[in-house]
Structure 1
Amino acid sequence: MESEELLGGLNPNGDQKQEEKKQSPLLSLEKDLEFYAESIKEVAVEIMVEGISATPIFIAHQHEVKLGEVILKREELNTNWTIQASTLEEFVEKGIIKPEKKEHFLKNYKKPEDFMCVFVIVPEGANFIFYPYAKK
């Protein structure tokens, strides 16, 4: 086994090899969320105003996901991430958020007028982030 393999991409000096430096997919996600922010906010407001849910959740992914409805398709917009709109209710119904964890989620849920709640799905797993509509 090579030392690079043991050190997880670090050379013996402890530096990361230049050619192995991979850009985090989250950097492209941040860029796309900034680009999408106005559209996402419009959909969030619509979900709340129409009484569909007080807790909109958006799903960011680069593959196919059977959750929510596609609102921004990366192939059509020449971006890296597709965004789908969903709700807390759908997440509970599909078992992504367990009913006993719903209250905990709501305590951490940020004001939807100021932050988009994004469920980010990457090959390594998935997690929730709250991204501000207007970066200060």
Structure 2
Amino acid sequence: MDIEELLPQQPEGGKAEQKKSPLVSLEKDLELYADSLKEVAIEIKVEGISANPIFIAHQHTVSIGEVILDRKELNTEWTIQVSTLEEFVQKGIINPEKKTLFLKSYKKPEDYMCVFVIVPEGANFIYYPYKAKG
């Protein structure tokens, strides 16, 4: 799933409210955090903790994973926590029967950050590419 798919859609035949999506600020924060997140994802794989790191982006308090980037400390919009596929299955966020399906869509953690975005309207997974150094 791409970030655009989570953005509010224009209603058909009507004018959309000019409400700024929280995902605009998320994208800005993910750009800022990208190098740190990539380092953490690779470390989780190398240390054998999990082959499937998952980052959680939120603006509240969540009880999964560990805080690695706190929005209050960094003066940003989003707090990022790190977790794993195994913890998501254990906590029932990913149904064990859907684990195989999830793994089919999971992108290489060296190239993409898997982010579980939590907003008041709900939550969803996105894959955000790390920018190539150029």
Q: TM range, normalised to the smaller chain?
A: 0.7 to 0.9
Decide which of 117, 120, 128 is 2:117's aligned counterpart: 120
Decide which of 11, 25, 28 is 1:31's aligned counterpart: 28
Question: Following TM superposition, by how much is the alpha carbon of 1:135 offset from its aligned partner in structure 2, in angstroms?
Answer: 6.4
Decide which of 92, 95, 101 is 1:95's aligned counterpart: 92
The superposition leaves residues 18-48 of structure 1 with CA deviations (integer Å, 9 ceiling, x where unpaired) of xx52100000000000000000001101100
1:43 is matched with 40
> How many residues get paired?
122
Question: What's the TM-score once normalised by structure 1's chain length?
Answer: 0.85
1:77 aligns with 2:74: yes
Secondary structure, in 3 states, of the residue corresponding to 1:97?
Answer: coil
Counterpart-to-counterpart distance in 2, 1:55 and 1:33:
18
The superposition leaves residues 42-101 of structure 1 with CA deviations (integer Å, 9 ceiling, x where unpaired) of 110110010000000000000000000000000011100000000000000000000000
Letter in 1 for 2:41: A
Query: Percent identity, aligned pairs only?
Result: 76
1:67 aligns with 2:64: yes
The higher radius of gyration belongs to: 1
Counterpart-to-counterpart distance in 2, 1:85 and 1:43:
8
Counterpart-to-counterpart distance in 2, 1:56 and 1:14:
41
Secondary structure, in 3 states, of the residue corresponding to 2:61?
Answer: coil
**Which deviates more from structure 2 when the two are superposed, residues 126-135 or residues 106-115?**
126-135
- The gaps in structure 1 that reach 5 residues or longer are 1-9
Secondary structure, in 3 states, of the residue corresponding to 2:97?
Answer: helix
2:126 is matched with 129
Letter in 2 for 1:71: I
Q: Which has the higher contact order (CA 8 A, sep 6+)?
A: 2
Question: What's the TM-score once normalised by structure 2's chain length?
Answer: 0.87
Secondary structure, in 3 states, of the residue corresponding to 2:39?
Answer: helix
